[in-house]
């Protein structure tokens, strides 16, 4: 493996984007010596709901979905995780099996970090622990928002919200289409509905001139109108 300077955690830019920035030099060195960088192909499973993770996965590049299977057999996507995010920290912290599955939506590069290198700083480095704590507090707040959305909003509202989210967080290509090309099924799994209804709802937005589609690609035409949909009915 070509372990050059960029694969040393100390120099990893990703570190600036998450709680790892609170780690000390020695801790990072330890981590760098034990981490395993993995290349993951689009569609590959990083981990599956119910597995016990021996560590966390730090996303170096690419985008993944975190989902949970419902009793009725449908997947619900709970989060889309990208560069800089750490997967599996929740289950390492509570030393339980994961409640979520992680699947790559694009080719990815992730670093697997054995849990001992997380657990130890959690005991000894309060700055790190507090950074993680703050991060989880944020996640909890987002989760509350999602609960309310799922419980109270229509598919149309949730779709509008996700389209805006995708543009906000992943941007567009030069032609103005959303950079992240989720399949209709994936979008449906985020929204929490059947793909047929998702498609119908999207088609309606298209007819109203708020979005534009070309194959699986989607472009937002009227951001304001979408925002308006998200809020009122």
Question: Which residues form the interface with DNA (CB under 7 A)?
Answer: 72, 154-156, 183-185, 192-197, 199-203, 213, 215-216, 233
Going from the C-alpha of 187 to that of each of 42, 44, 194, 202, the distances in angstroms are 16, 18, 10, 10
CB of 159 to DNA, least distance (A): 9
Continuous segment of H or E residues that includes residue 101: strand 101-104
Decide which of DNA, a copy of itself, none touches 126; Cβ closer than 5 to 8 Å per partner kind: a copy of itself
Least distance to DNA, CB of residue 35, Å = 31
| Residue 215 interacts with, from a copy of itself, DNA, none (CB under 5-8 Å by kind) | DNA
Among positions 146-165, residues that touch a copy of itself (CB under 8 A) are 146-153
The bridge status of strand 101-104 relative to strand 55-61 is unpaired
52 belongs to the binding site for a copy of itself (CB under 8 A):
no
Selected from 123, 174, 175, 207, the binder of a copy of itself by CB under 8 A is 123
The answer for residues whose C-beta is within 8 angstroms of residue 95's C-beta and 6 or more apart is: none
Would you state the structure tokens that stand for residue 99, as one six-digit string?
């409640």
Site for a copy of itself in 190-219 (CB under 8 A): 191-192
SS3 call for 120: helix
Structure tokens at 61: 């590049």
Q: How far is the CB of 15 from a copy of itself (least distance, A)?
A: 20
Interface residue with a copy of itself among 26, 139, 196, 208 (CB under 8 A) is 139
Nearest to 84 by CA among 2, 163, 21: 21
**Spatial contact of 202 and 210, defined as CB atoms under 8 Å apart:** no
To 10 degrees, what angle do helices 184-191 and 155-170 make?
Answer: 110
Q: Which residues bind a copy of itself (CB under 8 A)?
A: 68, 70-72, 74, 76, 78, 90-91, 93-94, 96, 99-100, 122-124, 126, 129-130, 132-134, 136-141, 143-153, 191-192, 230-233
């Amino acid at each position: 493996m070509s372990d050059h300077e960029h694969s040393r955690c100390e120099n990893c830019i990703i570190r600036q984007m998450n709680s790892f920035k609170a780690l000390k030099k020695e801790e990072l060195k330890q981590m760098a010596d034990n981490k395993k960088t993995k290349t993951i192909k689009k569609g590959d499973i990083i981990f599956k709901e119910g597995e016990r993770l021996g560590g966390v996965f730090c996303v170096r590049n690419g985008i993944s979905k975190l989902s949970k299977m419902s009793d009725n057999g449908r997947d619900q996507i709970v989060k889309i995780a990208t560069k800089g995010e750490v997967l599996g920290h929740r289950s390492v912290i509570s030393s339980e099996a994961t409640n979520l599955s992680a699947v790559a939506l694009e080719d990815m590069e992730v670093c697997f970090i054995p849990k001992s290198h997380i657990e130890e700083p959690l005991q000894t480095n309060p700055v790190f622990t507090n950074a993680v704590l703050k991060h989880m507090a944020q996640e909890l707040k987002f989760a509350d928002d999602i609960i309310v959305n799922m419980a109270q909003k229509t598919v149309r509202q949730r779709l509008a919200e996700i389209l805006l989210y995708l543009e906000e967080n992943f941007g567009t290509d030069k032609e103005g289409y959303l950079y992240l090309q989720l399949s209709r099924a994936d979008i449906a799994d985020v929204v929490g509905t059947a793909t047929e209804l998702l498609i119908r709802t999207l088609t309606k937005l298209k007819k109203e001139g708020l979005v534009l589609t070309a194959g699986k690609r989607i472009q937002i035409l009227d951001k304001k109108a979408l925002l308006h949909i998200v809020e009122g009915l």
